Structure formats: C-alpha cells, structure tokens
A and B are shown apart, each in its own frame.
Chain A
Amino acid sequence: MVKSCLDDPAARYGAEPGGASAPAKAKITFVDSHGQARTVEGESGATVMETALRNDIPEIAAECGGACACATCHVYVDASWTEKTGKASQMEEDMLDFAFGVKPNSRLCCQITVKPELDGLVVSTPAQQG
C-alpha cells in the first residue's frame, strides 16, 4: 500500500533518511596502519570517532566513548586537511600525552565534529591505541 506523506509523521517531518532536514553528510576516509583505505559517510554533528565506530573501522578503540579521557581514538590527519580540522584544544593536547607516536598532525578523533566542510577528510590510524 502506498503511504501518503500525511499518514506518516516521520516522512512529514523529514525525519526519514534523505528527508528535507536529514543531516548533511561528509565522506571520511580512514587509512589503517597497513595502508588499507575505507571511505564511509559521516553525519554532520556526529564525531569522527562515532562515524568510525558506526562503520566498524578498525584501529579505533574509543574506550571512554568520546569523553576525551582515554586517548584510544588517536588519528593522524592528512596534511591537506589539518587546516580545516583545526588544532587540538588544551584538554585534547593533555590527553594526547597518553597516546603513542604522537606527531604534529595527531588528533583524538572524538574531538573532531563532522561538518560539510570536512567532506573528503582523510585520516590514518596508528597500529596501537591502548
């Protein structure tokens, strides 16, 4: 049976995927420590860490669930994207002390929020998080 828009509140309010107010998406590529790349879609407003977990990306542990308290969501931001992702906050810098092999382009990806400007973002993951 065909459902009219009016019968289906979710569709009416645009809450269905692809509906008018569905969140904007951005493609994010995760390159693992063996060089394998996986490109997935992240929703605007979610974090890069959440996007990784939802898509079963390996090498992201995220033990603290995004509380910036574990440093097991460490990524290296591709050089061409570091300007757009911005710098780590003071709290994040402190937490990066507990990550391994930290480099100038290191970030904790639970602290990067997906937004349309980050469409195409490339990050790579270290071999060891915890």
Chain B
Amino acid sequence: MSEMIETDVVIVGAGPAGLFAVFELGLLDIKAHLIDILPRPGGQCSELYPEKPIYDIPGLPIVTGQELTDRLLAQIAPFHPTFHFNEMVEKLESTGSATAPSFRLATDAGKVFSCKVVFVAAGGGSFQPKKPPIPGIDAYEGKSVFYAVRRIEDFRDKHVVIIGGGDSALDWTLNLQPVAKSLTLVHRRDAFRAAPHSVNAMHELAAAGKIDFRLGQVTHVEGADGQLHAATIRGNDGADKLIACERLVPFFGLTMKLGPVADWGLNLHENLTPVDTEKFETSHPGIFAIGDINTYPGKLKLILCGFHEAALAAQQAYHYVYPGKKLVFQYTTSSTNLQKKLGVV
C-alpha cells in the first residue's frame, strides 16, 4: 500500500545543496521534504570525506565534511524539514501545467509524494552499491543476488554466500546464519574493518563449524532463470572451489551513479542538467536543479555555488507555491518576520 504525502517542495538529495535549500525555502514559508538513498544527511560531505577539512566555505575558515553537515542541520532545524532516508526517488511525473506546475514522485519504498515544486539536488547521482565484475551477475540481481538485506525471509533455508569484510558483511553473517541452510563468508584477507565483537563472533561461528569463512574472491556464478545454484571461489592460494550458493550478497561499498534522474525526461548533458542562471530552473517549469547535478556556463562544483543556487531557486519556487502573491525581499538581520520564522524572537 502506498502512502501519499503532500508538501510544497520535494528535494531529491540531502547533500549540502539540498539541506541549505530547506533554509532558503523556509524563509519564504515553503515546506519541504527531503529524500535520500543514503541512511543520513550530508551527501558527499558525510559519505566521502566526513573527517576531511574544507577550507572554502565563506565565513568558516576550516570545517570538516561532517561538521558542515551538522551545522547545516542546526541551521535548518527551525523549519522542521521531513527526511526520508534509505529511499531512492524512482519516478517523477508532471501532474500540472507550465504555469501551475505540480508533480508526483515515487520512491522505491512505495511512498508517493505530491508537490508543486521539485528541487533536484542529486549531486553526482545517487550512492548505489558497487557491483562486482562477476560475469553474468546482472541476470540474478534482485532475485538471488542482493546488495542489501531487506527481508530476512528471502534467505531462510538457502545456501547463502556473503562477500566483504566491513560491518555490513559481518553483521549480516551473524544475522543470517541462524536462518540460512549454510552460510559462507568470502573475504580477501583475514582482517576486517568492523566492530571487533562482530569479528570475534564470526570467528567463533567458523570455529564451531556453523559458517564457512573463506579467504579469496567469488569469480563465477551458475544458475538459471535468475536463480543461483553455485558459486566459484578462487582462494588466495589460487585454487578454485565450487560451492552451493542460492543467495549472494556482495558488500563492496557505494559508488555514485546518476541513477533514476536519467529517466525523468530532463535535459541531460554528460549526466548534468542544464539550468538558467537566474532561477536555476530546468527546461521543465517547476523542476529546479541545484548543486553538483546542474550545469551552466561557468559552473563550478563547489558547495558555496550550491548555496547560491538554492537561494535563487527558492525565489522562483515561491511564485509557484503562492501564485499571485508578492515577494518582499528581506534580511534575516533586520526582519522581525524572518526572525519569527527562525524562532529567534
């Protein structure tokens, strides 16, 4: 069953551009929901370089990717944005006209949103699981190859093979072992980047013969009609071993892929959406693109540019959300009206 959520603006992507857009929209009394496939806000800043310093945020001589994210969250808190994490926006359809735009968006988790304006703040694309180069693996994806565990029942009484050495690989080894018919963990080395207690628990299960831990890589899979039967593991000693495998779960981290944005009928040039530099609107009225996803003459993929774009896009969004209403330009320093919205007076 799908849930229908109504809001003024849906922001696709909770990176720095999407987060700051909440602020600029909020000042104009526009409510926003943010959707991101990641489990947390911050986009590239929190996913790729949370600990690294950024030196070119105006007014903040040095700030790490995570700190910037935290500060943005604090800054937008007065506007109570609603976050939808771990969800991919798959569909975007127009339900209105050029002068009175409205849209319907759908996520892979079954949520449906209805809104007047869409801010595409999708950055370098959605963060998606890396797919290992095992020949023919595509044919099994979603049926017997999974890059995340959504339903444990899919693994009951199956021969399960997990690849990886991080927290996800170890957590799912421990969680699926009790339901699987057999479980093999394949990792390239006998060292893990995971919580020590999970590593110990895994070694204990292996010592007790409850799971099989193999050093090596999965090189081939066999099966039919999307259903796996077996996998070949090339051991670090170079020897191949064929084992029963009905479910394969590779954990190789995330990579940025443009993803569903490509299917929304937006103009794209080398995976970027052209916009005007007055409103940062795409060729489709009511759909704006801000941050790394857009392109225009002189574009720089900098956080500060995303902030500027969010501010200008919000001005035009106002006219779609409040048609016919006049927009008065105000400063947060001196406008009691804005200060009320920020909760500081």
- Cβ of A97 and Cβ of B133 under 8 Å apart? no
Pair B49/A69 contact, Cβ less than 8 Å: yes
**Is A16 interfacial (CB 8 A cutoff)?**
no
Give the size range of B's interface with the partner.
Answer: 20 to 34
Determine whether the beta carbon of A97 is less than 8 Å from that of B48.
Answer: no
Q: Which residues of A contact B (CB under 8 A)?
A: 61, 63-65, 67, 69-72, 93-94, 96-102, 127-128, 130
The answer to whether A70 touches B255 (Cβ under 8 A) is: yes
Task: Decide if B217 touches A63 in the complex (CB within 8 Å).
Answer: no
Cβ contact within 8 Å between A93 and B252: no
24 contacts between A and B (CB under 8 A): A63-B48, A63-B256, A64-B49, A69-B49, A70-B253, A93-B189, A93-B191, A94-B193, A96-B188, A97-B165, A97-B187, A97-B188, A97-B252, A98-B130, A98-B166, A99-B252, A100-B132, A101-B133, A127-B133, A128-B133, A130-B130, A130-B255, A130-B256, A130-B257
**Contact present for A70 and B48 (CB under 8 Å):** yes
Q: Kindly name the residue among B124, B164, B217, B253 whose own CB sees the greatest number of chain A CB atoms within 10 A.
A: B253
CB of B71 closer than 8 Å to a CB of A: no
> What total of A-B pairs shows CB separation below 8 Å?
50
- B220 to chain A minimum Cβ distance, whole angstroms, is 13
Please, how many angstroms separate the alpha-carbon atoms of A127 and B49 in the complex? 25
- B188 nearest in chain A by CB position: A102
In the bound complex, what is the Cα–Cα distance between A69 and B217 (angstroms)? 21
- Contact present for A97 and B193 (CB under 8 Å): yes
Residues in B whose Cβ lies below 8 Å from that of A67: 48-49, 52
* B-chain residues with CB within 8 Å of residue A72 when the two chains form the complex: 255
Contact (Cβ within 8 A) A71 B253: yes
How far does the alpha carbon of A102 sit from the alpha carbon of B49 in the complex, in Å? 23
When the two chains form the complex, which single residue of B48, B124, B191, B193 contacts A69, counting CB atoms closer than 8 Å? Answer: B48
Q: Evaluate contact between A64 and B187: CB separation under 8 angstroms.
A: no
Beta-carbon contacts under 8 Å, B164-216 to A: 164-166, 187-189, 191, 193
Chain B residue with the shortest CB-CB distance to A97: B165
CA A97 to CA B168, docked complex, whole Å: 12
Interface centre among A63, A67, A98 (most CB of B within 10 A): A98
A36-B166 Cα distance, complex, nearest whole Å:
34
Q: CA of A98 to CA of B167 in the docked complex: distance in angstroms?
A: 12
> Which residues of chain B from 250 to 274 have any CB-CB distance to chain A below 8 Å in the complex?
252-253, 255-257
Chain B residues with CB below 8 A from A127, complex form = 133
B residues less than 8 Å from A93 (CB atoms): 189, 191
Which residues from A are CB-within-8-Å of B165?
Answer: 97
Set of chain A residues within 8 Å of B164, measured between Cβ atoms: 97
User: CA A115 – CA B321 in complex, angstroms?
Assistant: 58
A98 contact from B133, B252, B257, Cβ within 8 A = B252
Contact B191 A100 (CB under 8 A): no
Contacts of A96 in B (CB 8 A): 188
In addition to A69-B49, A70-B255, A102-B188, 20 A-B residue pairs with Cβ atoms within 8 Å of each other are A61-B255, A63-B255, A63-B256, A64-B48, A65-B48, A70-B48, A70-B253, A94-B193, A97-B165, A97-B166, A97-B187, A97-B188, A97-B189, A98-B130, A98-B252, A99-B252, A100-B132, A127-B133, A130-B130, A130-B257
